[in-house]
Amino acid sequence: MIPLSYYLILSAILFACGVAGFLIKRNIITIFLSIELMLNGVNLTFVAFAAQIKSLDGHIFVFFVMVVAAAEAAVGLAIIIAVFRTRETLNVDRVNLLKL
Protein backbone atom coordinates (compact mmCIF):
# COMPACT_ATOMS: atom_id res chain seq x y z
CA MET A 1 0.00 0.00 0.00
CA ILE A 2 1.22 3.47 -0.88
CA PRO A 3 1.04 6.37 1.61
CA LEU A 4 -1.39 9.12 0.75
CA SER A 5 1.40 11.69 0.87
CA TYR A 6 3.08 10.14 -2.20
CA TYR A 7 0.01 10.89 -4.28
CA LEU A 8 -0.13 14.44 -2.91
CA ILE A 9 3.56 14.99 -3.69
CA LEU A 10 3.03 13.70 -7.25
CA SER A 11 0.06 15.99 -7.78
CA ALA A 12 2.00 18.96 -6.35
CA ILE A 13 4.86 18.25 -8.78
CA LEU A 14 2.45 18.02 -11.72
CA PHE A 15 0.78 21.28 -10.66
CA ALA A 16 4.18 22.98 -10.32
CA CYS A 17 5.15 21.79 -13.81
CA GLY A 18 1.91 23.30 -15.10
CA VAL A 19 2.60 26.61 -13.36
CA ALA A 20 6.18 26.67 -14.70
CA GLY A 21 4.98 25.91 -18.24
CA PHE A 22 2.35 28.62 -17.97
CA LEU A 23 5.02 31.13 -16.98
CA ILE A 24 7.93 30.26 -19.28
CA LYS A 25 6.19 29.13 -22.47
CA ARG A 26 5.53 31.66 -25.23
CA ASN A 27 3.34 29.55 -27.52
CA ILE A 28 -0.32 30.09 -26.69
CA ILE A 29 -1.19 26.42 -27.34
CA THR A 30 1.56 25.21 -25.00
CA ILE A 31 0.31 27.63 -22.33
CA PHE A 32 -3.11 26.06 -22.74
CA LEU A 33 -1.61 22.56 -22.40
CA SER A 34 0.03 23.66 -19.14
CA ILE A 35 -3.39 24.65 -17.79
CA GLU A 36 -4.65 21.15 -18.60
CA LEU A 37 -1.63 19.73 -16.73
CA MET A 38 -2.55 21.79 -13.65
CA LEU A 39 -6.13 20.51 -13.82
CA ASN A 40 -4.82 16.94 -13.95
CA GLY A 41 -2.69 17.53 -10.87
CA VAL A 42 -5.74 18.78 -8.97
CA ASN A 43 -7.79 15.78 -10.15
CA LEU A 44 -5.19 13.42 -8.68
CA THR A 45 -5.58 15.14 -5.31
CA PHE A 46 -9.35 14.71 -5.48
CA VAL A 47 -9.11 11.00 -6.28
CA ALA A 48 -6.46 10.37 -3.60
CA PHE A 49 -8.52 12.02 -0.85
CA ALA A 50 -11.65 10.22 -2.09
CA ALA A 51 -9.77 6.93 -1.63
CA GLN A 52 -8.66 8.02 1.85
CA ILE A 53 -12.10 8.93 3.22
CA LYS A 54 -13.79 6.11 1.25
CA SER A 55 -16.25 8.51 -0.31
CA LEU A 56 -17.17 8.77 -3.97
CA ASP A 57 -17.90 12.51 -3.86
CA GLY A 58 -14.33 13.21 -4.91
CA HIS A 59 -14.89 11.20 -8.09
CA ILE A 60 -17.95 13.30 -8.90
CA PHE A 61 -15.85 16.44 -8.45
CA VAL A 62 -13.31 14.99 -10.87
CA PHE A 63 -16.08 14.57 -13.42
CA PHE A 64 -17.13 18.17 -13.05
CA VAL A 65 -13.52 19.29 -13.41
CA MET A 66 -13.28 17.21 -16.59
CA VAL A 67 -16.49 18.76 -17.95
CA VAL A 68 -15.20 22.25 -17.24
CA ALA A 69 -11.84 21.34 -18.80
CA ALA A 70 -13.52 20.05 -21.95
CA ALA A 71 -15.71 23.15 -22.25
CA GLU A 72 -12.69 25.34 -21.60
CA ALA A 73 -10.67 23.50 -24.24
CA ALA A 74 -13.42 23.95 -26.84
CA VAL A 75 -13.88 27.69 -26.17
CA GLY A 76 -10.17 28.34 -25.65
CA LEU A 77 -9.14 26.66 -28.88
CA ALA A 78 -11.84 28.62 -30.72
CA ILE A 79 -10.34 31.81 -29.27
CA ILE A 80 -6.86 30.65 -30.35
CA ILE A 81 -8.15 30.10 -33.90
CA ALA A 82 -9.77 33.56 -33.90
CA VAL A 83 -6.53 35.14 -32.62
CA PHE A 84 -4.51 33.31 -35.26
CA ARG A 85 -6.87 34.56 -38.01
CA THR A 86 -6.41 38.20 -37.05
CA ARG A 87 -2.74 38.17 -35.95
CA GLU A 88 -1.21 35.34 -37.99
CA THR A 89 0.83 34.31 -34.94
CA LEU A 90 0.61 32.08 -31.89
CA ASN A 91 3.32 33.87 -29.92
CA VAL A 92 1.87 35.67 -26.91
CA ASP A 93 4.61 38.31 -27.11
CA ARG A 94 3.14 39.42 -30.42
CA VAL A 95 -0.40 39.46 -28.99
CA ASN A 96 0.20 42.19 -26.44
CA LEU A 97 -2.22 44.86 -27.66
CA LEU A 98 -5.96 44.85 -27.35
CA LYS A 99 -6.39 46.67 -30.66
CA LEU A 100 -5.05 45.37 -33.94
Partner 1 sequence: MLAEILFFIFAALCVGGAINLLVQKHPINSALSLIVVMGSLALIYLLLGAEFVAAVQVIVYAGAVMVLFVFVIMLLNAGAEERLSDGSRVATILGVPALIIGMGITAALVSHMAGLDRIAIGGPTVMNGTDVFGNPQAVGHLLFRDYLLPFEVTSILILVAIMGAVVLARREEE
Sites of contact with partner 1 (CB under 8 A): 1-21, 24-27, 29-30, 32-34, 36-37, 40, 43-44, 47-48, 50-52, 54, 56-57, 59-60, 62-64, 66-75, 77-82, 84-85, 90-91, 93-94
In order of 2, 25, 32, 98, the CA distances from 80 in angstroms are 41, 15, 10, 15
Taking residue 9's Cβ as centre, other Cβ atoms within 10 Å add up to: 11
Q: Give me the least distance between CB of 24 and partner 1, in Å please.
A: 6
Q: Give me the least distance between CB of 57 and partner 1, in Å please.
A: 7
